[in-house]
Structure 1
Amino acid sequence: MHIKTSDGVTLYIEKEGAGVPCIYLHGGPGYWSKSFQHFTSEFLHGQLEIIYLDQRGCGRSDLAENGDYSLERLIRDIEEVRSYFQIEEWYVLGHSFGGLLAVNYTHRFPEHTKGLILTNSTLNMADSFTHQILKGQEWLGITEKLNPINDTSNIVNTFYSTVKQLIEKNLFYKLQFKTPEDEQRLGIIDEALSPQPDFQQYIFSNEEYFQDFTHLTAKVKVPTFVLSGLFDHSVGPRHQESFHFPNGIYKQLVSGHHPYVESPAEFSRAILEFVLDNN
């Protein structure tokens, strides 16, 4: 289905399952919700009613003709989705970049957030990009001392340069997956994804998104579940150690950046245990 935002952007949404409402916020930035739905639906839909949202400018949603991909606008989109479905209180589940949106939404609208679930989420993109760069250069055998990576433009340019070299060496998959086979399984679903670069280009060129949002974690009082991956070198396997949720529960899986692809049953079971304990 489609809904139109207050500034005229058409968002693609699917709502499936039965139980407690939960909105899923995908990563990327610039990805979509279809892959998460594909791999977890048989496990989650029995106890959660999940709203799968493709963020504006992503996946099957429309581009913003006014070019507004600001954090304030993305948070407003989420709240307008809640209002559209007349949901009083829901779980907010964010993966990767979607975790940054989830934390900001929850901080802004705690009265509508029953619980916060973060999986393999970055709340400091500069830190996560730096981890990817350093890990990638380690795999490439680059040992010379690096110049300080101290601004957004430098971080993004160095990231793209490192990624290009990793792709050439068939090593890029190691940032996100334990095995090339897991990458291939996700790739089959993503063959239907039409790239729309506007969103990602906006995010990667905007200082607003490269702030350190970990300071918000101490202010988020709702029950929070943080899942991380021991081999997640997209966010960093220790990135969650900078979070300070007052009511946080932390669990690390033996997975990469996409545990819902690598071990969907274990991943889903962990989420449902949190939800059941919180109800």
Structure 2
Amino acid sequence: MNKIIIVLFLTLFGNTVLAQELEIQTFGNQNNKALIFLHGGPGYNSVPFEQVTANELANNGFFVISYDRRGEGRNENLKAEYTFTQTLEDLNKIYQKYQLKKATLVGHSFGGIIATIYADKYSDKINNLILVSTPISMQETFKNIIASSKEIYTEKDDKVNLNYISMLENMDSTSLEYATYSFMHAMSNGFYSAKNPNQKAVELYQKFKTDTLLKKYASKNEYLAPQKFWENEQYTSISIKKNLESLQNKNVSIFGLYGKEDGLYSKEQIASLEHILGNEKVKYLENCSHNVFIDRQDEFIDSVKKWTN
């Protein structure tokens, strides 16, 4: 491991440095292909990815950079504006810190939205853009969650939750409350989990669920970051379709990894993404939900290797 003169924090899963105010984790040899991981949220962190998959990618020839956004996770105490402008500036500082001319961005869920916006603005800094369980249209995602939840509650004759769905359907679909309640139904209906995870996935989930760092930051700022990002960016109504089309015109290579058991997205949404990117650039995996890098870790790593060659 390289020694950083300024500050060095040793962790169980890599080097941690305080750079440009942000706490950053790195894995692997800095001379290898650079890959930056952007976590979901708003209001989450990169710990699950780092705990189970970052080192595996590093062992496969990547220099992996991972961090929690300003005001979230391990960087929760940093002063944050919760804007895309500041978030993109932080990414630029990471490029500067590690002297990167180009890198592959891997954006998970909301992190894929950030990665896409960054790539569209700084396309000359992008080797590849890999979207993992990323909402292409937030409004379409909410509609799918509500429709799928309604179907479940109707089948169970769950009148209480059907009443909640009816109330939700009459709310302002761009409001933060609408988004929050939609995600609550998604969580309670198991939309984030594979129904029959393979043995490796079971072991990986067990590994990161017992991680003390994850427990420490599991609920930190889970309300502040979504609230502030919504106030500043109205992210609940974002669609990145035009950004993706723009990137296609700039000849930036874009790929997508999604799970067929991810209840946030319908088959039609995946088909729409395939139409934009091309069928061969989107993998829609069986026995896999939202956390592709855990549910199907081997396929995740193989895909990243293939797409970055």
Which category of TM-score, normalised to the shorter sequence, fits these structures? 0.7 to 0.9
Counterpart of 2:281 in structure 1 is 249
Corresponding residue for residue 193 of structure 1: 217
* Paired position in structure 2 for 1:2: 18
Shift of 1:21: 0.4
Change (3 A) 1:72 1:176: same
AA aligned opposite 1:152: T
Partner in structure 2 of residue 157 of structure 1: 177
Residue pair 2:259, 2:284 contacting (<8 A) in 1 also = yes
Q: Is 2:60 the partner of 1:49?
A: no
Identity of aligned residues (%): 22
Structure of greater Rg: 2
Structure 1 residues 83 and 54: alpha-carbon distance in aligned structure 2, compared to 1, 3 A threshold: same
Select the residue among 263, 270, 294 that pairs with 1:233.
Answer: 263
Measure, in 2, the Cα distance between the counterparts of 1:61 and 1:240.
Answer: 33
1:89 corresponds to which of 93, 102, 105: 102
User: Is there any run of 5+ residues in structure 2 with no aligned partner, and where?
Assistant: 1-16, 155-160
User: Amino acid of the residue matched to residue 226 of structure 1?
Assistant: G
Alignment counterpart, residue 214 of structure 1, candidates 227, 234, 241: 241
Relative to structure 1, the CA distance from residue 217 to residue 103 in structure 2 (aligned partners, 3 Å threshold; closer, same or farther) is same
Structure 1 residue 43 displacement after superposition: 2.7
Note the alpha carbon deviations across 1:170-215, whole angstroms, 9 max, x for none. x44x110114975963533432325113212222445532222211
Determine if the alignment matches structure 1 residue 62 to structure 2 residue 76: yes
- CA distance in structure 2 between the aligned counterparts of 1:275 and 1:38, rounded to whole angstroms: 22
Could you say which residue in structure 1 is the equivalent of 2:51? 38
Offset at 1:133?
Answer: 2.4
SS in 2 for 1:68: coil
Matched, 1:14 2:25: yes
CA distance in 1, matches of 2:181, 2:270: 26
What corresponds to 1:270 in structure 2? 303
Deviation, 1:64, is 4.7
Structure 1 unaligned spans of 5+: 5-9
| TM-score, length-scaled by structure 2 | 0.76
Give the CA deviation at 1:237.
4.7
CA distance in 2, matches of 1:72, 1:140: 41
| Root mean square deviation, CA, Å | 2.7
Cα distance change of structure 1 residues 132 and 165 upon mapping to structure 2, 3 Å threshold: closer
Question: Judging changes above 3 Å, is the alpha-carbon distance between structure 1 residues 64 and 97 closer, same or farther for their aligned structure 2 residues?
Answer: same
CA distance in 1, matches of 2:180, 2:33: 40
Tell me if structure 2 keeps the 8 A contact 1:224–1:248. no
Q: How far has the Cα of 1:166 moved from its partner?
A: 6.8
How far does residue 107 in structure 1 lie from its aligned partner after superposition?
A: 0.5
Q: Which residue in 1 is equivalent to 2:4?
A: none
Aligned residues: 264
For residue 137 of structure 1, give the secondary structure of its aligned residue in structure 2.
helix
**Residue 137 (structure 2) pairs with residue 121 (structure 1):** no
